[in-house]
Amino acid sequence: MSSKFSKIGFVLAVAGSAVGLGNAWKFPTLVGQNGGSAFVLLYLLLTLGVAFVIFLAELSIGKLSEKDPVNGYKTLAPSNKNAWSMAGFTMLAAILIVSFYSLVIGWIIKYMYFSISGNLSLTLEESKKQFDTLLLNDFTSQFICFTLVFFIVFYVVSKGVKNGIEKLNVWMMPTLFILLVLMLLYALSRGGGFMDAMQFLFVPDFSKITGNSVLEALALAFFSLSLGVGTIITYSASLPDKTNFITSTLNIILINILIGLMMGLIVFTFIFEFGANPNQAGPGLIFISLTTLFAKLGVIGHILGAAFFLSLIFAGITSAISMIEPFAFYLINTYKMSRKNALILIGIIVYILGNLCILSTLSATEFKIFEMSFFDVLDKLTSKIIMPLGGILAAIFVGFVMKKRALEILFQPYMSGIFFKIWYFFLRFISPLAVIVIVINAFR
């Protein structure tokens, strides 16, 4: 067994994994599209009722086996060991995710450069053109920025759980938090826009909730807590003994929600302050609307922009490393590979996939599969199919296959009997059903 996290190291590493582009980009975008605060409320409800429940299931697999996802399922399954070990291979989806996720971090690096060099566009049209130029025509920038992210991420993972992942998170997470607080204070000083943003995020309007928003909220809760692809299993394998993991988990969830809300308040303050459209879809909100607003604020705006993009880079990198570690840990455990060799192998795969993603955004190459860009194929395949599947499998495995006694022993010091019963009931009957509903909806 490799060395374990310290107690705070575990919380920060998992929070680092959870807090990422999902909070900064998906969260405000979806809140905007689904009419604001009622969606936030739903998201909170589903985070506690479904994601939290499955999170504890994945944590149990990791903690009780102290292994990577594949060997974890194998060790804990009382029978059909090889069949159950297949469930662990959902971790390969994390390798697909990191390939396009690192590219998005690469775009953010480019935007940080635009901010520092005073090159953000002043109007929405120009801003859109700038973004399109980067994606459609600029192979060189995308290639350089992706390659940079690639090396940083693999360098950190090469140092291992304690010396790489923990050390990075211990300074990056607090720095991210401080940057956000500073930006929030600035947003607060913008009076009117801030009040509108508060109203938008915190006064619920239930008329905006549709069946689809419920499912969007559930999918977001899943992605945002890094569930379904072995990350939580893997980090929990290094969970130090005698840690109150229930409080840790609640802290992680709280941090994740708090940072999402802070990002939301910052983004929407600017949006309302300058009358941009909160319903703008996709990456438009961060890369197009928000940057225009930074540009309008002149020098201060460019500094704020640089700070904002820097915080996104931090949040993204701590998430990206958590996508590589499961597969690396598996290769090390199963084939007795050195960490270095395991990472070279994974690195080659990620580097090829990442470059294919770049090619798929360029108008000259437009690498497509099934009419979708390769980038979108990876995104949809992982978030709509593999992640929910991974979550359902973890819930069924822990709820129906693993011995209940082992779970009771694990939870008993930190959770009263009645809470255990409630959790176990949700795990078996409520959470997997909820997830099945998401998947069915995605394919209707």
Query: Using CB atoms within 10 A of its CB, is residue 210 exposed (0-12), middle (13-18) or buried (19+)?
Result: exposed
CB of 117: closest distance to ligand TRP in angstroms? 27
Q: Closest Cα to residue 205, out of 24, 23, 50, 31?
A: 31
Among the residue ranges 55-63, 219-227, 273-281, 370-378, the one whose residues contact ligand TRP (CB under 6 A): 219-227
Residue 263 is a binding residue for ligand TRP (CB under 6 A): no
Structure-derived torsion over alpha carbons of residues 116, 121, 124, 129, reported in degrees to the nearest 10: -100
Q: Mask: binding to ligand TRP, 92-121, rule CB under 6 A, as x and -? A: --x--x------------------------
- Identify each DSSP E strand in 258-381 by its residue range: 368-369, 372-373
Based on CB atoms, which residue is closest to ligand TRP, 224 or 243?
Answer: 224
Q: Scan residues 359-398 and list those touching ligand TRP (CB under 6 A).
A: 387
Among the residue ranges 35-43, 125-133, 205-213, 224-232, the one whose residues contact ligand TRP (CB under 6 A): 224-232
Q: Within 13 A of 302's CA, how many CA atoms are on the CB side?
A: 12
Q: Within 13 A of 119's CA, how many CA atoms are on the CB side?
A: 10
Of 121, 169, 224, 243, the residue at the interface with ligand TRP (CB under 6 A) is 224
CB of 196: closest distance to ligand TRP in angstroms? 26
Residue 291 is a binding residue for ligand TRP (CB under 6 A): no
CB of 419: closest distance to ligand TRP in angstroms? 25
Read off the tokens for 149: 């992210």
Among the residue ranges 168-176, 226-234, 294-302, 363-371, the one whose residues contact ligand TRP (CB under 6 A): 226-234
With contact defined as beta carbons under 8 Å apart, do 329 and 237 qualify? yes
Query: Using CB atoms within 10 A of its CB, is residue 444 exposed (0-12), middle (13-18) or buried (19+)?
Result: exposed
Residue 186 is a binding residue for ligand TRP (CB under 6 A): no
Q: Mask: binding to ligand TRP, 5-24, rule CB under 6 A, as x and -? A: ------------xx-xxxx-
Of 43, 223, 314, 330, the residue at the interface with ligand TRP (CB under 6 A) is 223
Residue 231 is a binding residue for ligand TRP (CB under 6 A): yes
**Cα 403 to Cα 266: distance, rounded to the nearest angstrom:** 46
Among the residue ranges 220-228, 295-303, 356-364, 396-404, the one whose residues contact ligand TRP (CB under 6 A): 220-228
Based on CB atoms, which residue is closest to ligand TRP, 243 or 319?
Answer: 319
Report which secondary-structure segment, H or E, holds 260. helix 245-273
Q: Closest Cα to residue 257, out of 216, 233, 225, 305?
A: 225
CB of 71: closest distance to ligand TRP in angstroms? 19
Q: What is the DSSP annotation of 77-103?
A: -SS-HHHHHHHHGGGHHHHHHHHHHHH
Based on CB atoms, which residue is closest to ligand TRP, 223 or 424?
Answer: 223
Based on CB atoms, which residue is closest to ligand TRP, 105 or 332?
Answer: 105
Based on CB atoms, which residue is closest to ligand TRP, 38 or 324?
Answer: 324
Q: Closest Cα to residue 68, out of 47, 53, 46, 90?
A: 90
Beta bridge partners of 369: 372
Helix spans in 25-166 (H): 27-33, 37-46, 52-65, 69-76, 81-88, 92-116, 124-132, 139-158, 160
**Cα 126 to Cα 119: distance, rounded to the nearest angstrom:** 11
Residue 226 is a binding residue for ligand TRP (CB under 6 A): yes
Among the residue ranges 79-87, 181-189, 222-230, 418-426, the one whose residues contact ligand TRP (CB under 6 A): 222-230
Residue 253 is a binding residue for ligand TRP (CB under 6 A): no
Based on CB atoms, which residue is closest to ligand TRP, 89 or 420?
Answer: 89
Residue 319 is a binding residue for ligand TRP (CB under 6 A): yes
Residue 323 is a binding residue for ligand TRP (CB under 6 A): yes
Based on CB atoms, which residue is closest to ligand TRP, 301 or 326?
Answer: 326
Residue 234 is a binding residue for ligand TRP (CB under 6 A): no
**Cα 86 to Cα 90: distance, rounded to the nearest angstrom:** 8
Based on CB atoms, which residue is closest to ligand TRP, 97 or 179?
Answer: 97
With contact defined as beta carbons under 8 Å apart, do 148 and 109 qualify? yes
Site residue total, ligand TRP (CB under 6 A): 17
> Which residues contribute to the site for ligand TRP (CB under 6 A)?
17-18, 20-23, 94, 97, 223-224, 226, 229, 231, 319, 322-323, 387
